[in-house]
A and B are shown apart, each in its own frame.
Chain A
């Protein structure tokens, strides 16, 4: 009988089978069954569960381990009747992030004797809180695709008017040089669109905008 089998009974079997810590520093841990997740199911919280009691005057702590990372309760002296204590955590001690299935599958749970002896562990395992987030269905778009490519504009070095129909969004992509956008021809206020970037302006209420770039710059345009 492997030692893990002495702490595997559910419900716990009291003193029928147990592990007993013999001296300060004595430690044990056991692996647990893999968590079976349904599609989309997530791990919310994990609690290492240790059912133990004191048969002498020992003190110790329960431990939850993932790789070299460890969480534990405080050291204390349990009572003489079996009781379950928990090492509870929302995040993996290995990463400080929400638990992954691989981390839960790798969990070890056990106990360490801090002082004295006679700590009896009769059950060890892990409890996990799981839930499946609701599936949000994508809504169909209200309108069909309405993209319209316009003839590219070749800049002249001065303001060039582009009419944007009411409700439409103007797509502007200048090639090779920046383009300035004004709402009034010859105005001083401007929006500068860097070369080789794509900007969407709109929706329009039926506005005319004015584009200006270095002569010869090609400005790609579209409406959507």
Chain B
């Protein structure tokens, strides 16, 4: 089953997410397509700000995290501010088993992004950038048991052999853990997660189809009630 969850914030809220913390807001100015997008304002401090993605749904229809040996995700991203200090790196994406690091993208003050796979202290294995501020990119990462693929805007940045060190059940966008007390501003939209190496590329979008017609109804009362004409 390729895609297990997606989100586009098109209901104007964060109910598609598993969780969030810190300065996270949904609004029209942050959209990549549709009507809404999400802004993560990472503080210039030890504080964090992030959203937690799902990779499945429970029986009640709630977005949830499921442990899998392969984790694929794609998301539209736009940076509007960068960390102030160059040469230190802050988490942009944190893929984990619970809180244990499996893979991450880290951002520098010069707009470079680095990929790390394995333990959190492992050296980076690929770089991309510098990112242009105010531009949307579509980032896709597949972390498989023995290899990885990283794409930006549909083009492969890097692929190769690397082990995340175990299964994964969570992905966080933004600063999940503090590395260098750096802040930045990240807009995200059109998110998906999957359990294989299937990518959908930068044409991915999420649309909402709003209620616009009666179907059938019995036993549901309306509020506010209809007021009969005088």
The answer to whether B220 and A15 have CB atoms under 8 Å apart is: no
Q: Which residue of B lies closest to A28 (CB)?
A: B217
The answer to whether A32 and B209 have CB atoms under 8 Å apart is: yes
- Any chain A CB within 8 A of the CB of B8? yes
Q: Please report whether the interface of chain A is mostly helix, strand, loop or mixed according to DSSP.
A: strand
The answer to whether A17 and B224 have CB atoms under 8 Å apart is: yes
The answer to whether B61 and A30 have CB atoms under 8 Å apart is: no
- Any chain A CB within 8 A of the CB of B204? yes
Choice from B61, B206, B221 contacting A85 with Cβ under 8 Å: B61
- Any chain A CB within 8 A of the CB of B124? no
- Any chain B CB within 8 A of the CB of A80? no
Rounded to whole Å, the gap between the CB of A115 and the closest CB of chain B is 13
A-side contacts of B222, CB under 8 Å: 1, 3, 6, 18-19
- Any chain A CB within 8 A of the CB of B11? yes
- Any chain A CB within 8 A of the CB of B226? yes
B-side contacts of A134, CB under 8 Å: 154, 201, 203
B-side contacts of A1, CB under 8 Å: 222, 226
- Any chain B CB within 8 A of the CB of A123? yes
Rounded to whole Å, the gap between the CB of A28 and the closest CB of chain B is 4
The answer to whether A113 and B219 have CB atoms under 8 Å apart is: yes
The answer to whether A127 and B10 have CB atoms under 8 Å apart is: yes
The CA-CA distance from A22 to B8 in the complex, in Å, is 33
- Any chain A CB within 8 A of the CB of B50? no
Q: Which residue of A lies closest to B63 (CB)?
A: A86
Surface stretch bound by B, among A33-41, A186-194, A212-220: A33-41
- Any chain B CB within 8 A of the CB of A204? no
Rounded to whole Å, the gap between the CB of B7 and the closest CB of chain A is 8
Q: Which residue of A lies closest to B219 (CB)?
A: A26
Rounded to whole Å, the gap between the CB of A100 and the closest CB of chain B is 14
- Any chain A CB within 8 A of the CB of B3? yes
Mark out the residues of chain A between 36 and 73 whose CB falls within 8 Å of any chain B CB in the assembled complex.
Answer: 36, 41, 44-45, 47, 49-51, 62, 65, 73
- Any chain B CB within 8 A of the CB of A108? yes
Choice from A21, A41, A107, A109 contacting B220 with Cβ under 8 Å: A21
- Any chain A CB within 8 A of the CB of B135? no
Known interface pairs A85-B62, A126-B208. Does A30 touch B223 (Cβ–Cβ under 8 Å)? no
The answer to whether B221 and A19 have CB atoms under 8 Å apart is: yes
A-side contacts of B10, CB under 8 Å: 10, 127
- Any chain A CB within 8 A of the CB of B122? no
C-beta contact mask, B206-230 vs A, less than 8 Å → 1, else 0?
A: 1111111111111111111010000
The answer to whether A124 and B211 have CB atoms under 8 Å apart is: yes
The answer to whether B206 and A130 have CB atoms under 8 Å apart is: yes
Choice from A4, A23, A84 contacting B213 with Cβ under 8 Å: A4
- Any chain A CB within 8 A of the CB of B205? yes
- Any chain B CB within 8 A of the CB of A29? yes
- Any chain B CB within 8 A of the CB of A205? no
The answer to whether A8 and B212 have CB atoms under 8 Å apart is: yes
- Any chain A CB within 8 A of the CB of B6? yes
The CA-CA distance from A28 to B217 in the complex, in Å, is 4
The answer to whether B3 and A31 have CB atoms under 8 Å apart is: no
Please list the 4 inter-chain residue pairs (A to B) with the smallest Cβ-Cβ separation, ordered nearest first.
A26-B219, A11-B12, A85-B61, A31-B213
- Any chain A CB within 8 A of the CB of B196? no
The answer to whether B11 and A30 have CB atoms under 8 Å apart is: no
A-side contacts of B1, CB under 8 Å: 90
A-side contacts of B213, CB under 8 Å: 2, 4, 30-32
The answer to whether B211 and A129 have CB atoms under 8 Å apart is: no
C-beta contact mask, A87-118 vs B, less than 8 Å → 1, else 0?
A: 11010000000000000100111100100000
Q: Which residue of A lies closest to B223 (CB)?
A: A18
The answer to whether A125 and B207 have CB atoms under 8 Å apart is: no
Known interface pairs A28-B218, A29-B216, A134-B154. Does A6 touch B223 (Cβ–Cβ under 8 Å)? yes
Known interface pairs A62-B61, A84-B15. Does A10 touch B214 (Cβ–Cβ under 8 Å)? no
The answer to whether B206 and A108 have CB atoms under 8 Å apart is: no
- Any chain B CB within 8 A of the CB of A158? no
Choice from A23, A47, A121 contacting B219 with Cβ under 8 Å: A23
The answer to whether A26 and B6 have CB atoms under 8 Å apart is: no
Mark out the residues of chain B between 1 and 42 whose CB falls within 8 Å of any chain A CB in the assembled complex.
Answer: 1-3, 5-6, 8, 10-13, 15-16, 35
